[in-house]
A and B are shown apart, each in its own frame.
Chain A
């Protein structure tokens, strides 16, 4: 592209140079032709025409250039103003001196040509001519007198003899030719020195008019040989002849020396007069040539000024456009090379700068992309962490957080970015223990710390492990990172495991002695009750019955513990929960007197993957709990429905009663063994229910509604089992 441009420029320059040479040659020829050159004289008109045509072409080219420049100027094209200024400058620089030179040249030309003609010379020539004419006139008058003196000899001569007489007279006078012409131009007789010349020239009409008035006529005449003659015509009488008036015409040769001198005077005078006459055409011709030369030169200079201005401004224009492009964000713009001068260096520097800016920008982009990638990577990692992460700046304002932190703290953190953590924690009352644990350490600037915090919130009691560390760096990058871990489930699991161990030991250590105790008591009763009477018998009977009853009760309790501690032996399969519920409820309806059990089952309930026996036990425990909680006219509402959770579809089973609900003080530990409000009971009912739910990867939540207690169990549907997670959601 750049090569093509350079090539085109080169050929344009060559073309212009050739045109310039042709123009110079044409002007030179014109100048030669204007001067008195015979060679180019014939070409003068053609040269004038060619140069005038060139002039018109140049004017056209300049107008086209002007028009283009005006359009560019009006459109605000890059470089147009500079081009206009350069053109105006060059025009002024060329036109002004040219005009001055032209003015003085014309002055010199006029005065120079005029100076060729000297008034004294002119007068001298006029005088010479007059002198010659006077000398010849004198001779003419002499000859006239002589001729008039002999006219009497010719009068009365008959026409037939006239040639002889005429010949004699001519010889006598020394004339070269004599003739007698009658009216109408008829030659009556003639005599000539030159025998070949027969017919003399007839006199002109104006001469004849003069002769008719009786006046003689004399004049100088030019012979065909170029020599001067004196022509004299006089009227003569024609008595006795046919015509009344005749004219005697005589030609006298001027002596050779006089003729030669007169001829020289005539030639000198003629040439001078002709030259003097041609003075104005000469001036006009020189002026025309000078004007053409000047105009052509100036116009060529103006035309070249456009070209040169464009060439000079081209790199500047490129630079302006390049700068605009860079300013508009188009980095890496490369301009065509502009030669080896300072402008070329500037263009080269611009290209280097633009290239480096582009490279730097590319590197910055890559770095930014890397940072973005790292950030995305970090965010992904943070979002997938189960621990909550909060990053604070050096002034304790929240910078970054993850989803888990929002879940664990149960506060929206999206709007808290940039705000102080202190304000955030103060804003939420349930986070006060966290603030008490965290803020002093932040203020102290503890480098690495760890603390356990118990939170009491709407979701119940929660145990958090907080750890913090100071981040390296100053104002921009430094600060603190705070990691919050919810270990409630872990603590609960540990507690569950401890309880399981207790139950297993109870079952093992206590259950074994109970049977001998019971058997012993029954044996004592059987052996001694009959032998005793009265009050002893009553005592024994009461004591042994109490022992046996209490041992049964203990057995029942130990069995319950055993059941709780027993490891699950699940037989999982696709199960229609609605069918199972109908079956269980039907059993209760026939056995329970006043209790009312309502079923609100969702149609098209998807199957759950579960162990039917374990779910049956779960339902028994829940219904039993409800029945025991409401002594009078219990109403139990059982409903199922499908819910869409983030982890997939779940089947929700809801069991509600119309009782007093769970006491608030035990609500937070309702699933723990031995937590019961009833006088009777092992306190393992809900603990086992929770255990079964967890075995099925479901979740359970107990709460108080307006009517009474309400337990929600969620079980994953058969297809989504793998994705469901067991959750305990305490009320």
Chain B
């Protein structure tokens, strides 16, 4: 096991995982922004699929909820960011497309593409004005690989196989207005 870790994260590369590194929420110009980083590792099966031309769709689910003492929490805003990562054989580059904005970037290395995917910088969440005074809010973030977007034949295998299970834990930040 130690040997596995020692070989350049080889052991880590054996299983797929997404972890959210601790980030921060900051208020800039009346808008709350999120800065975070995702550490995405792909299992060899997933890498093989990606290199074979299978596009991978990643989702960032962001929920802003108001905490309430006597009632259940109220959802204030929800945001879904979708990214597609695929391999372009002709150019031998990885293409990362933000499906929400249509913006795309290509990378020579897969790790660079994954790093770019995991880089969340100043993502605007919600206007300060939309939050009530003295309210307590929580921002929930989860990143996952959208298996439903996989080719249908691969979908069944992906659902049943742990290598394809790419879901992060929910990361929570608290906002005290």
Seen from chain A, the residues whose Cβ lies within 8 Å of a Cβ on chain B are 36, 41, 44-45, 48, 129, 132-133, 136, 201, 204-207, 219-222, 224, 228, 262-263, 265-266, 269-271, 273-274, 276-278, 281-282, 284-285, 288
Contact = CB atoms under 8 A, between A and B. Distances in A.
Given A204-B112, A277-B53, A222 B106 contact: yes
B152 A132 contact: no
Nearest to A49: B159
A173 to B, nearest CB: 21
Interface string B58-96: 000000000000000000000000000000111111010
A207 B108 contact: yes
Contacts of A129: 89-90
A220 B104 contact: no
Question: Which of B92, B153, B156 gathers the greatest number of chain A CB atoms within 10 Å?
Answer: B153
A221 B157 contact: no
Interface residues of B, number: 29
Contacts of A276: 52
B107 interface: yes
B112 A219 contact: no
B149 interface: no
Given A270-B89, A285-B157, 6 more contacts: A129-B89, A129-B90, A133-B90, A205-B112, A265-B90, A269-B90
B37 interface: no
Contacts of A281: 153-154, 156-157
A221 B106 contact: yes
A224 B103 CA distance: 7
A273 B89 contact: yes
The 3 closest A-B pairs by CB, nearest first: A277-B52, A220-B91, A266-B90
Contact of B152 (A36, A136, A288): A36
Nearest to A201: B105
B109 interface: yes
B3 to A, nearest CB: 27
B30 interface: no
A253 to B, nearest CB: 14
A41 B53 contact: no
A222 B88 contact: yes
A222 B53 contact: no
Interface string B147-177: 0000111111101000000000000000000
B54 interface: yes
A266 B88 contact: yes
A284 to B, nearest CB: 6
B52 A273 contact: yes
B49 interface: yes
A41 B105 CA distance: 31
B49 A277 contact: yes
A220 B54 CA distance: 20
Contacts of A285: 153, 156-157
A446 to B, nearest CB: 111
A262 B157 CA distance: 32
A269 B104 contact: no
B165 to A, nearest CB: 14
Contacts of B109: 204, 206
Question: Which of B90, B106, B154, B157 gathers the greatest number of chain A CB atoms within 10 Å?
Answer: B90
Contacts of B54: 274, 277-278
A216 to B, nearest CB: 14
Contacts of A263: 90
A423 to B, nearest CB: 103
A222 B93 CA distance: 9
Nearest to B157: A281
Question: Which of B54, B103, B156 gathers the greatest number of chain A CB atoms within 10 Å?
Answer: B156
B90 A206 contact: no
